[in-house]
Structure 1
Amino acid sequence: MKKIVVHVREDGHEKIEAVLEGLHYTVSLVQDVYQITIYTPDENLDELIEKLQSVLDLRYNENMIEVSKPEFVISSLLKRAEKKVEEKEEKTPVEKLVDQVKGYSELDLEKLALTSIAGLVALSGLLLDNQTIIIGAMLLSPIMGPIYGFSVYAALGNIQNATRCLGVLAALLLGVFILSAIASFLINLIIPLTMTEEIATRLVLNPIYSLMAVFLGFAAALAFSKGTTEVIAGVAIAAAIIPPTVVSGLVLVLQPMSLITSGVLVAGQIVGLIAGALVAVVLMKIEPRAPQDKAAARRYRIGSIVTTVILFTLLLWITALMWM
């Protein structure tokens, strides 16, 4: 159940009430601004927001739409409304999705710190041949955010922020790679390092890994859009990227001839995750509300999908050749 409060100037409240015909709502007048309060099942929220935006002139500062979730509402009318939409699929409003990802196009110290710590913990697990430590490191990594942010911005045709998300992802992974290489070099000066089984398994190319990444990207993006926290939705994503990236830095010190193999594995995982996330946002029908923006967004979305498919196919082919 959602609570929607529409603030509208006196010259526009009749249009709002016309859109709400057949729904139960209350109207109050506060200092020449009408406040119209509507309660609606979650499944109707996206459709109702679209109708309200079509008649509400947001160029005026007084006009706004406020959406919140009350702890509970007791109403026989709302109970009947919920029964009517039990079979209707809930769609997350695009405004909420944009609000979720708005911080993922910016690189900050917190993201760098969490990803770096996750990389060092994963490095410890790899050197100790301890899978539990490796998995535990994934709880710290915010890698899912930029991937999900890119897929949402790509669907909306926001080229600038989509590119920034890729830049943040590249910076985080590059930081993990450099830090793991430096740490491995310093540790190796004191304690000679050897290739453990956990390291060796991440130097074996297999096309199944890339295909698995597609499913992980799809599942994580879908879960993220439904409000699942990043820590939970991103663990699988981090597990697919962080350890192979750490291994790339480690083999740069211990076994440089394996760097190409490790790099191909990391690239395949990244492109696979992005491909899965793009599939998720397409199936969720994420697009701008404004008709004039939909065509441009569709072109950019198709371009992103085609580019990702080409890269994924190429990496899958290279992986298959090196695996055979």
Structure 2
Amino acid sequence: MALRVIEIVTPREDKEDVAKSLEERQSDEGYVFWGSPLDDGESLSFRVVLDVRETEDVLDKMENLFAWTDKYRIVVYPAEATLPRLDPLTKEEEAEKNGDQAGEEEDNGNGNGRISREELYADVLDTTLLSRHYAMLVLFSSLVGIIGLMRGNVAIIIGAMVLAPLLGPNVGLALATTLGDRKLTWESIKTLTVGVVLCFALSAGAGLLLGLPDPSEELMSRSVTEFSDIILAMVSGAAGIITVTLGVPTSLVGVMVALSLLPPLIACGLFLGASMFPEAGGAGLLFAANVICLNLAGVVTFLAQGIRPLSWYEKERAKKATLQAALIWTVLLAALVGLMLLQTR
């Protein structure tokens, strides 16, 4: 069972309100908490140890409690273990004894095993912000991919896939759409655009300078888009989003390899630089398919995982943004399938 610690720093005058709120929900959420004074003499620190599945529900209640003041701070961090143990089996047995009503209450909470919305946002934001390091990662991974595709070396190509600098902005865009977050949306689009331009320019330059007298099989395989590629992109995208929401970064490596964004983009640039225009179009189509399917699968999976904004007006804005984005990605996917059907004929 994954554990989290929620630390709440609050003024001393709010001690009773915070303690009462935590005590009221303690039996439902199954957490332990305690308070201690801070060195400044004016603030208190409450620490709550709980199951990761309950984190978002408790955070939302705390945010609603403190919405009227700016004198608080809530910090969330992981805990390896706690003694005495939090016993989820006892809680499940009590829920079974209480019958269906307890089961319904559990369903209304965050009992789906994922990390909280705020943790998820922080994790995604780290891979979405445009920085010098991101640009360097794009250039280096593109160079690795160029060498791997030109030599037809699968191991080198997988190395470029694992670096996967374009995956983060796409996940950020899907999350921003789900939450209706305009700032994160534009930051994701900006970062993704810079990454695509850098990768494409570098690979096109390599194709122009070196040419492709004898294209490798690995390179040629990226010039064709099949319907199985769309299915693979949708499934891999959904799996990647679930992995992100569960907070299991090691599992994301396999998704990076399965959902290859970088190799088809590199192939498109190489083919274009070498004046192989039909092949460049096919590789560009594969890259577009992966981006479209990743974002569409991401929005759907985030919604299925119960990722929602907290306030009602943010929920309304997010609902509108999600519907618009889902419509756009669906139309683009339909157009893509139409192009593929025209190519096969």
TM (normalized to structure 1)? 0.89
How far apart are the structure 1 equivalents of 2:54 and 2:89?
Answer: 9
- Coordinate RMSD, CA, aligned: 2.3
How far apart are the structure 1 equivalents of 2:334 and 2:90?
Answer: 46
C-alpha spacing 1:27/1:199, structure 2 compared with 1 (3 Å):
closer
What is the CA-CA distance between 1:233 and the residue it aligns to? 5.9
AA at the equivalent of 2:220: A
2:200 matches 1:198: no
Report the equivalent of 1:74.
Answer: 83
What is the CA-CA distance between 1:82 and the residue it aligns to? 5.9
AA at the equivalent of 1:25: F
2:43 to 10, 30, 33: 33
C-alpha spacing 1:64/1:107, structure 2 compared with 1 (3 Å):
closer
SS in 2 for 1:20: helix
Question: What does 1:272-287 align with in structure 2 at a 5 Å threshold?
Answer: 272-287=293-308
How far apart are the structure 2 equivalents of 1:66 and 1:206?
Answer: 46
Question: What does 1:48-197 align with in structure 2 at a 5 Å threshold?
Answer: 48-57=58-67, 59-61=69-71, 63-75=72-84, 78-79=86-87, 81=88, 83-84=90-91, 88-188=111-211, 193-197=213-217
How far apart are the structure 1 equivalents of 2:185 and 2:155?
Answer: 34
C-alpha contact 2:237 2:255 (8 A) present in aligned 1: no
How far apart are the structure 2 equivalents of 1:284 and 1:198?
Answer: 36
2:240 matches 1:220: yes
AA at the equivalent of 1:84: K
2:56 matches 1:43: no
What is the CA-CA distance between 1:161 and the residue it aligns to? 1.9
C-alpha contact 2:222 2:267 (8 A) present in aligned 1: yes
* Residue segments in structure 2 that go unaligned for 5+ positions in a row: 27-31, 94-105
C-alpha contact 1:26 1:36 (8 A) present in aligned 2: yes
AA at the equivalent of 2:123: Q
C-alpha contact 2:234 2:293 (8 A) present in aligned 1: yes
AA at the equivalent of 2:140: I
What is the CA-CA distance between 1:56 and the residue it aligns to? 1.9
Greater CA deviation, 64-73 or 243-252? 64-73
SS in 2 for 1:36: strand
Report the equivalent of 1:229.
Answer: 249
What is the CA-CA distance between 1:299 and the residue it aligns to? 0.9
AA at the equivalent of 1:151: A
How far apart are the structure 2 equivalents of 1:291 and 1:144?
Answer: 30
C-alpha spacing 1:243/1:69, structure 2 compared with 1 (3 Å):
closer
Greater CA deviation, 108-117 or 149-158? 108-117
SS in 2 for 1:11: helix
How far apart are the structure 2 equivalents of 1:49 and 1:12?
Answer: 17
2:10 matches 1:3: no
Q: For 1:111-143, what per-residue CA distance to the aligned partner results, in whole angstroms no more than 9, with x for missing partners?
A: 222222222222222222222221122222322
* Residue segments in structure 1 that go unaligned for 5+ positions in a row: none
What is the CA-CA distance between 1:244 and the residue it aligns to? 1.0
AA at the equivalent of 1:227: G
What is the CA-CA distance between 1:146 and the residue it aligns to? 0.3
C-alpha contact 2:114 2:245 (8 A) present in aligned 1: no
How far apart are the structure 2 equivalents of 1:213 and 1:242?
Answer: 13
Report the equivalent of 2:18.
Answer: 16
C-alpha contact 2:115 2:247 (8 A) present in aligned 1: no
Aligned residues: 317
SS in 1 for 2:163: coil
C-alpha spacing 1:82/1:167, structure 2 compared with 1 (3 Å):
farther
C-alpha contact 1:155 1:298 (8 A) present in aligned 2: yes
C-alpha spacing 1:33/1:280, structure 2 compared with 1 (3 Å):
same
2:266 matches 1:264: no
What is the CA-CA distance between 1:209 and the residue it aligns to? 1.0
SS in 2 for 1:69: strand
How far apart are the structure 1 equivalents of 2:130 and 2:36?
Answer: 44
Report the equivalent of 2:334.
Answer: 313
AA at the equivalent of 2:156: I
What is the CA-CA distance between 1:183 and the residue it aligns to? 1.3
How far apart are the structure 2 equivalents of 1:227 and 1:275?
Answer: 21
C-alpha spacing 1:225/1:233, structure 2 compared with 1 (3 Å):
farther
AA at the equivalent of 2:75: E
2:264 matches 1:244: yes
TM (normalized to structure 2)? 0.84
AA at the equivalent of 1:59: T
How far apart are the structure 2 equivalents of 1:33 and 1:148?
Answer: 38
What is the CA-CA distance between 1:175 and the residue it aligns to? 1.4
